[in-house]
Chains A and B, each alone.
Chain A
Amino acid sequence: MTNDTTMTKPGGVNRRTLIKSAGALGAALAAGTLDAPAVWGQGKKTIRFLNTETSIDSIRALKVACAEYEKQFGTQIIVDSVPLDDAFTKVTTSLRGGQPYDIATFAFVGHVLLLQAEGHLMPLTELTNKHQWGPKILFPVKNEVYWYPYDYNLAWIYYRKDLYEKHGLSVPKSYAEMLKNTQTLTADGRYGSLFPIGSNGATNWLAPGFMWAEGVKLFDDKWNVTLDSADMAPRVARYLDFFAELYKTMPSGASQASFGEVLSNFSSDKVAHAAYAGRMIEALERNAPKLATQYGMTPYMDSTGKAKAVNHGYDGWVVLKTPNSDESMKFMAWFTENQYINFLHTAPLHFQPPRLDVYDDPRWRAHPLIDKHKEAVQTMRGFITDKSVILTSIDTEGPYPDLRPGKVFEGFVIPEMLQNKILKNMSSAECVKTAADRMRKLTA
């Protein structure tokens, strides 16, 4: 037995040699790392882009665009992709950590407003002024636009045209007609409808459309909560009474349903009505091609059959005030002029263009899915050009863009109002009062 740790087998490696080699390798790596950002040393600019469109097609399109930009202008763009929910935290922590993102994607005007209020955003008015835009999408602050939208994300109602024909139903124009149709189609192992009612973003997006059609406004011009006012309370009550009846035509689990469940239930022929944006058609094309020719689209309707509405979600890019702002602005100008349509094509029917020129652009219309579903695309366009269609959402309610409706959105006030009515059997009047009180607390 020996304590000699340096003893080696012929041709082998002893522990000390291994440690020395590892140390040398570590030192070499460290030295290499110090040398790594050669791009900085050579004066090459690098922009950091935070992307929240995490489909493989969108990421690929961004990377191709960035590579093209680097080839043309020598500026490197590093794309980080994160889920949408993480974007604001990533951006704010990057700002606080001293290495901010230069460009970021957001889908919530409250986040844009917060960053703008703290002076972290570059105005993009110069870029947005080059085009005509649809309504309620630019969210200007003191006449300056601070983001560049690429998607309206409107939510409307999908129904099954084949089932309508089979049962002799007509496209619903009022709550009563909608109820009649969903009740009729709750049969043969299929449910009449699925509209989420849980405390989640899907409910905030897909459930309030009927309420907007009923003419409900959350705030007056001075930001007073109007939900329980003499004018609004009966409208909200009608919406709640209707929704409670509609709920009876849904499969169990509506309180947990989110985006995925809505898509899968409609595309697997389990429900006859559901709300969504163009992603539904893409899902049908991918998973249920037979149904991709059987769907119909209609806006949310009111109780009288006179008004209609869609609920918008929206997505866009911001440019942050960083040492690279000038370069980021140059990239954004190039990207929005040269790559905007390529990016929209990565979710051709879901990314509904807020820029009106795109609808007539042959490059955009050339996409096979857009061409195949041109009737649907025309309907989608109508939702933003037809002035009789109410276009709003919880977080954009009120006289001007502000964080207050954002708090109502993030506080899940409307979903909880629905839950109080449907799951706790509270009276509609009580639900409205509870929701209005909560809104006042959140926005105080």
Chain B
Amino acid sequence: MSSKTTIYGFLFVGLAVTLALIVAPAVYAVSLSFYQMDSFIGAPKWAGLANYAAVLQAPEFWRALVNGAIYALGSIVFQVVLGIAFALVLNETFPGRNLVRGLSILPYLLPTVVVILTFKWMVDGGIGIVTKAVEAMGLPPINWFESPGAAMASTILVSVWMWTPFVTTCFLAALQTVPQSLYEAARVDGTTAVQRFFHITLPMLKPILTVVVLLRAIWMFNKFDVIWLLTRGGPVGATENLAVLSYRRAFNLFDIGGGAAIATISFALLSVAVLVYFRVFPLEDD
């Protein structure tokens, strides 16, 4: 078997798997958005663009779009800032560094459902360990989810807790590729640590920063599990993003077409955002 045949063979397998498991379901989901269906067992009725019109007129859609943007932006900013900070610390030499590096990835390894349930029990208003600690300190109880702002902040907090290790790992790997000679030369020139960070480290991290921010933005904008398990989009829709709204519409409110229309719009919005992002932050410097 020639190497060319092998290459085409592997390509074909990859392509077939992508078509079967990604492209076909996506096309099917988009096609559903043009039909009116109560459930997957009912006969679909052609609805044209009616689902899109209905979705775009619904205030919940715009609220979910804004919520998704706030959640994604808030999560990314904290994840990136903390991720870089932790990476800088872990890049230094200190006793037990390897152990700390290993432990730092732990929250990312935990299943989402474990993290969420743990968090919910920790802050439970009656028996939560955090609640008890706050009580013991004589402080008033913290209402983690009782107002729209607090619920969004709690959701972002959990997301930052879970995914900052991923960002840390990416930046730590990138930091190890920065030539030490650059820092040595800068030190000779009498630069401060802050100057070295902004003029050497950050520019050298730019390619990985671009990719990490893009990946986090896509994942956070589409995030379903954390929000669903933590708040189910509440209170009063304050943490409901497009992914949750799409699910609720399709599977709770018996509107498969409406749910598919929201998912399709979300996909289109993200595609446009990614295109714009790459225009503004190209991966390769000219």
Contact = CB atoms under 8 A, between A and B. Distances in A.
Contacts of B252: 410-411
Interface stretch (B14-22, B140-148, B194-202): B140-148
Contact of B146 (A92, A255, A406): A255
A250 to B, nearest CB: 7
Given A96-B40, A403-B38, A424-B236, A251 B253 contact: no
Given A92-B41, A191-B126, A270-B126, A253 B236 contact: no
Interface in B166-193: none
Contacts of B141: 251-252
A420 B126 contact: no
Interface stretch (B72-80, B93-101, B117-125, B278-286): B117-125
Contact of B235 (A115, A199, A264): A199
B31 to A, nearest CB: 15
A254 interface: yes
Given A198-B232, A410-B253, A419-B235, A251 B126 contact: yes
B232 A411 contact: no
A419 B147 CA distance: 9
Interface in A400-419: 403, 406-407, 410-412, 415-416, 419
Interface residues of A, number: 44
B108 interface: no
B125 A250 contact: yes
Contacts of B257: none
Contacts of B236: 199, 416, 419-420, 423-424
A257 B235 CA distance: 12
A110 B253 CA distance: 10
Contact of B253 (A254, A257, A264, A442): A442
B234 A254 contact: no
A120 B41 contact: yes
A118 B233 CA distance: 31
Given A271-B126, A407-B254, A253 B41 contact: no
Chain B at the A interface: SS class = loop
Given A194-B126, A199-B232, A253 B39 contact: no
Nearest to B42: A118
A265 interface: yes
B146 A114 contact: no
A149 B251 CA distance: 23
Contacts of A96: 40-41
B16 to A, nearest CB: 20
Contact of B123 (A191, A253, A406): A253
Contacts of A423: 146-148, 235-236
Given A253-B123, A253-B145, A407-B253, A93 B234 contact: no
Contacts of B248: 410
B164 interface: no
A252 B146 CA distance: 8
A429 interface: no
Contacts of B241: none
Interface in B103-126: 120, 123-126
A349 B148 CA distance: 38
A346 interface: no
A92 B39 CA distance: 8
B118 to A, nearest CB: 13
8 contacts: A92-B40, A199-B234, A252-B143, A253-B125, A253-B145, A254-B146, A255-B235, A256-B231
Interface of A: 88-89, 92-93, 95-96, 110, 114-115, 117-118, 120, 191, 194, 198-200, 250-257, 261, 264-265, 268, 270-271, 403, 406-407, 410-412, 415-416, 419-420, 423-424, 442
